[in-house]
Amino acid sequence: MGEAKTDLLKIYRNLHQIPELALHEFQTHDYLMKQIKQDTAAIDYAEIQVPNELPTAILVLLHGTQPKRTIGYRTDIDALPVAEDTGLDFSSKHDGVMHACGHDIHMTVALGVLQYFTQHQPTDNLLFFFQPAEESENGGKLAYEDGIFTGKWKPDEFYGLHDNPQLSAGAIGCRMGTLFAGTTEVDVDFTGTQGHAAYPQFANDMIVAASQFINQVQTIVSRSVDPIEGGVITFGQFNAGTIRNVISGSAHLKGTIRGLTQKMIEHIDERLQAVAKGIETSYDCQVDLKLNQGGYLPVENNDKLTADFINYMEENPKVDYVETEPAMTGEDFGYLLAKFPGTMFWLGIGDPKNQLHSSKLVPDTNAIQPGIDAITGFLQHRMLEKD
């Protein structure tokens, strides 16, 4: 693993050791507040707000010298219920919880960008949003619905990154249009009649009904979705039955839908509902289908702002820029980009043997400083633009 600047490396390692789940990021919040207050103590153009409605969130507003706009920069701060298996000497101190998606890198980079602008007052206003609950509970949506982004705390545009282990450390990746898919949680309950295994004629087997539902759902993507657009339906949990010689009268499925456009997600939703109704009729049972998208909309980058972002990164000889393909991973920053124009991009962390959410993910910390340099450079460039 490569090295960042000593203070940033220390911050990263400290954050890595205290991962916390969505809406419970209290220790992380306190650590971030300590760093933010330390960095802003010597300046008079910073304001800090902790929303009552979202107490682990932090907003930091740096007032510009000649503001034409307020530029938002968001980082997520929560972790995953994953038991770490990296062998690092600074591994997670919280059993069963890990920064397996690299939000510790996200936060460290955000603190580095904030630190830079506390030493170089920005021209435009800069709003930093340290957001809880990205991995679950859609923290971006909660923040917006709670009215956090109002008045001087309202950004005119929003930017944010996600780390990518498949890109070399410090590389910046982006694309026009959709970067990440939108996601919908799927829960399906099947209710029939329990019975003895020897007398199937007196029962209504929900293992069979649920299995047939899964089989039919597989044809939605293969036969009802434009293959150029694409979509994904995955059922990762199937619970039914209690013992080998009892026909199960109930079954429960949990799954996820992924689509690169909101239109595609809604189309898949409709097809799932149609399949559920068909199973009810065919198997004379009750099928309760629940679809919950929450704030996990597709991450659709704004055309104008993203073109400017890409152009800056491509022309900067100090930036290793890569044009990337859309990914089926989900991100609740899509909700904020549906409310404010902006751009999400990748920061390479150079761990190609491991995927995001892996218990073995070890980001190369050589990514941190190049990420900070690329972002601060772009933000300074953006402040020179008239519109």
Choice among 39, 78, 135, 280 that is catalytic:
135
Q: Which residues participate in the annotated binding site?
A: 101, 103, 135, 162, 357
pLDDT, one tens digit per residue, over 193-232 is: 999 999 999 999 999 999 999 999 999 999 999 888 889 9
Q: From CA 171, how far away is CA 194, in angstroms rounded?
A: 57
In the chain, how many domains are there?
2
Same domain, yes or no: 161 and 238? no
DSSP H or E segment with residue 347: strand 342-348
Question: What gap in Å lies between CA 251 and CA 209, rounded to an integer?
Answer: 9
Query: In percent, how much of the chain has pLDDT > 90?
Result: 97
Q: What pLDDT is stored for residue 3 in this prediction?
A: 62
Assess whether 311 and 283 both reside in one domain: no
Mean pLDDT for the stretch of residues 343-362: 98
For residues 254 and 320, membership in a common domain is answered with: no
Residue 186 lies in a domain: yes
- Tell me the average pLDDT across 11-38: 98
Each residue's pLDDT tens digit, 105-162: 999 999 999 999 999 999 999 999 999 999 999 999 999 999 999 999 999 999 999 9
Chain mean pLDDT for the chain: 97
pLDDT digits (tens, 9 = 90+) for 269-303: 999 999 999 999 999 999 999 999 999 999 999 99
Among the listed residues 20, 39, 76, 331, the single catalytic one is 76
In this structure, are 131 and 86 located in the same domain? Answer: yes
Q: Does 12 share its domain with 112?
A: yes
Is residue 76 among the annotated active site residues?
A: yes
Statement to judge: residues 309 and 271 lie in one domain: no
Q: Tell whether 322 is covered by a domain.
A: yes
Give the CATH number, domain containing residue 284: 3.30.70.360
223: three-class secondary structure by DSSP: helix
Residues 273 and 362 in one domain: no
CB 253 within 8 A of CB 185: no
Position 4 pLDDT exceeds 80? no
Residue numbers of the domain that contains 377: 6-177+301-384
Q: Is residue 13 part of a domain?
A: yes
Work out the pLDDT band at 1, boundaries 50, 70, 90. Answer: very low
Residue 72 maps to a domain: yes
Q: What does DSSP assign to residue 365?
A: G
Give pLDDT, residue 227.
85
In a domain, 1, yes or no: no
pLDDT single digits (tens) 36-87: 999 999 999 999 999 999 999 999 999 999 999 999 999 999 999 999 999 9
Between the two ends of the chain, the Cα-to-Cα distance in Å is 41
The reported pTM is 0.94
Summarised one tens digit per residue, pLDDT across range 76-121 is 999 999 999 999 999 999 999 999 999 999 999 999 999 999 999 9
User: Which of 292, 314, 346 is the endpoint of a domain?
Assistant: 292
Structure tokens at 157: 């545009």
Binding-site annotation, residues for Mn(2+): 101, 103, 135, 162, 357
* Domain closes at, from 292, 324, 357: 292
Same domain, yes or no: 199 and 261: yes
Q: Closest Cα to residue 352, out of 101, 223, 169, 195? A: 169
Do 284 and 135 lie in a common domain?
Answer: no
Do residues 143 and 194 share a domain? no
Nearest to 24 by CA among 92, 73, 94: 94
Identify whether 334 is part of a domain.
yes
Domain end, chosen from 269, 292, 315, is at: 292
Tens of pLDDT, residue by residue over 299-311, are 999 999 999 999 9
Residue 341 is assigned to a structural domain of this protein: yes
Answer whether residue 140 is part of any domain: yes
Burial of 230 (0-12, 13-18, 19+ CB in 10 A): middle
Q: What is the rounded average pLDDT of the residues 182-202?
A: 97
**Does residue 2 carry a pLDDT above 70?**
no
Euclidean distance between CA atoms 134 and 163, whole angstroms: 14
We report the CATH number of the domain holding residue 318 as: 3.40.630.10
Statement to judge: residues 341 and 197 lie in one domain: no
Q: Are residues 172 and 185 in the same domain?
A: no
